[in-house]
């Protein structure tokens, strides 16, 4: 049976392209909650599905290394209970014609460059933002290499419908189950099955809501099925991708017509998959950041994020950072996650003492993958103390 590869045990299996860690940090970028499908399968090695293939990625100081697994079951011997397979699923066949390793590798490198949007220079952006924004500079000095992925629009949309009123840790499990239940199987590595993200037609099936409720999706089960059905019924299968070619606000409003898609989810999809770098998703984190770190006072102690406040905060950051404001937001958002608080304490220090934690989490259970229990306790204590200390000296 195939297993996950690691760089140290066979450089033959790997290709690479130039990429500085100042431009890309896999550990931050793949685990900050923009994509939910990457797992650290060995120390510093991230395995996930992208472009219908299974990849393992890792990096050294100046290169990004990748391995693509071959699809074991090209011909599915398993009964595929989707009897109605509309003709619009061209994804099944490729690499049948003679493609040299060289060509294959070139194509894969190009897929990676696109996925990580390596043409966008984070160093330049951060220097620019940091010059005018003290707080950003302090944060970005530690959180260097957080960048926006260019995700598949369908995957992005349906993943983010799952995020409402929810935790990242739980969302990851849900998206995993979604793919397992409705996506085409790709391969299996060390007992872990990998599936493609479900197609629109798979998501739109009337049986899906009940199925997903059984899988613990709660009220989001209906949103997923209904949104997929609405897209296919009223727009067609190419509609979401087509939104890449329309202006930001138009794409945003189009998305908001879907059930389960409000301002925040629409902005996430715009920013993370539709080439709208000016989209600034405002969630509770960003709201807190605006108030706490930017003394954003235009909300007179409001209880909830109203439409107007949402827009004002987005405009505030767009004015501060310009057309790539969404990229800036993602850096601060990442820095605000508690799973990454330990990075702040050690500043630039390269590799922390590795708690031996990385080994046990690679098994196959999804719950070992939290990565934040290592220091949360002290961190929480510290945080609480800070906010309390101001009002009561202990």
Partner DNA sequence: AATCGACCTGTCAAC
Partner DNA sequence: ATTGCCAGGTCGATT
> Contact at 8 Å (CB) between 115 and 51?
yes
Nearer to DNA, 7 or 335 (CB): 335
Nearer to DNA, 68 or 140 (CB): 140
Residue with tokens 């399968």: 41
- Across the beta sheet with 53-60, what order do the strands follow? 15-18, 63-68, 53-60, 45-50, 39-42
CA dist 217 and 154 (Å) reads 18
Supply the minimum distance, in Å, between the C-beta of residue 299 and DNA.
8
Q: How far is the CB of 56 from DNA (least distance, A)?
A: 22
Buried residues in 91-107 as b, exposed as e (16+ CB within 10 A): eeeeeeeeeeeeeebee
CB of 174 to DNA, least distance (A): 8
Question: What is the DSSP track for 127-158?
Answer: HHHHHH-HHHHHHHHHSTT-------HHHHHH
Please report how close the Cβ of residue 330 comes to DNA at its closest, in angstroms. Answer: 8
Judging by beta carbons within 10 Å of its beta carbon (0-12, 13-18, 19+), is residue 332 exposed, middle or buried? Answer: buried
> Residue numbers of the site for DNA (CB under 7 A)?
32-34, 160, 163-170, 173, 213, 216-220, 222, 256, 258-266, 268, 281, 283-285, 302-304, 306-309, 333, 337, 366-367, 370, 372-373, 376-377, 380, 384
Tell me how far the alpha carbon of residue 309 is from its chain's centroid: 25
CB nearer DNA, residue 69 or residue 197: 197
- The CA-based angle 42-176-356, given to 5 degrees, is 25
Q: Which of 74/167 has CB closer to DNA?
A: 167
The angle subtended at Cα 149 by Cα 144 and Cα 152, nearest 5°, is 170
Residue closer to DNA by CB (options 19, 270) is 270
CB of 110 to DNA, least distance (A): 26
**DSSP string across 285-305:** HHHHHHHHHH----S-S-SS-
21-22-27 Cα angle (round to 5): 50
The residues facing 67 across adjacent strands are: 56
Tell me the closest approach of the beta carbon of residue 62 to DNA, in angstroms: 27
Active site residue 264: yes
Outline where DSSP puts E strands in the chain: 15-18, 39-42, 45-50, 53-60, 63-68, 185-189, 192-195
Active-site entry in 12, 73, 121, 264: 264
69 or 333: CB nearest DNA: 333
- Which residues have a catalytic role annotated? 264
């Amino acid at each position: 049976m195939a297993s996950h590869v690691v760089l140290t045990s066979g450089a033959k299996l790997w290709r690479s392209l130039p990429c500085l860690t100042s431009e890309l940090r896999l550990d931050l970028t793949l685990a900050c909650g923009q994509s939910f499908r990457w797992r650290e399968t060995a120390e510093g090695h991230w395995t996930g599905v992208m472009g219908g293939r299974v990849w393992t990625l890792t990096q050294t100081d100046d290169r990004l290394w990748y391995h693509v697994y071959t699809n074991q079951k090209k011909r599915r011997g398993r009964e595929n209970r989707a009897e109605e397979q509309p003709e619009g699923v061209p994804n099944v066949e490729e690499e049948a014609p003679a493609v040299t390793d060289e060509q294959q590798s070139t194509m894969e490198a190009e897929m990676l460059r696109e996925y990580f949007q390596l043409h966008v220079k984070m160093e330049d952006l951060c220097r620019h933002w940091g010059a005018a924004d003290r707080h950003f500079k302090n944060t970005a000095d530690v959180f260097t290499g957080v960048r926006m992925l260019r995700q598949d629009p369908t995957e992005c949309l349906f993943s983010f419908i799952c995020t409402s009123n929810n935790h990242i840790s739980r969302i990851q499990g849900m998206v995993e189950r979604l793919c397992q239940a409705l996506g085409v199987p790709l391969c299996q590595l060390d007992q872990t099955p990998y599936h493609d993200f479900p197609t629109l037609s798979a998501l739109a099936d009337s049986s899906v809501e009940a199925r997903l409720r059984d899988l613990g999706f709660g009220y989001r089960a209906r949103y997923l099925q209904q949104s997929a059905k609405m897209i296919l019924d009223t727009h067609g299968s190419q509609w979401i991708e087509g939104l890449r070619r329309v202006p930001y606000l138009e794409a945003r409003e189009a998305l908001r017509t879907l059930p389960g898609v409000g301002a925040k989810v629409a902005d996430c999809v715009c920013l993370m998959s539709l080439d709208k770098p000016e989209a600034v998703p405002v969630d509770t984190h960003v709201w807190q950041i605006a108030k706490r770190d930017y003394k954003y006072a235009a909300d007179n102690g409001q209880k909830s994020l109203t439409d107007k406040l949402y827009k004002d905060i987005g405009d505030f950051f767009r004015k501060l950072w310009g057309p790539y404001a969404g990229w800036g937001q993602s850096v601060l958002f990442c820095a605000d996650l508690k799973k990454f608080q330990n990075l702040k304490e050690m500043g630039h220090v390269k590799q922390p003492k590795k708690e031996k934690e990385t080994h046990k989490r690679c098994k196959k259970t999804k719950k070992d993958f939290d990565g934040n229990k290592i220091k949360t306790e002290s961190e929480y204590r510290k945080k609480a103390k800070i906010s309390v200390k101001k009002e009561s000296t202990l």
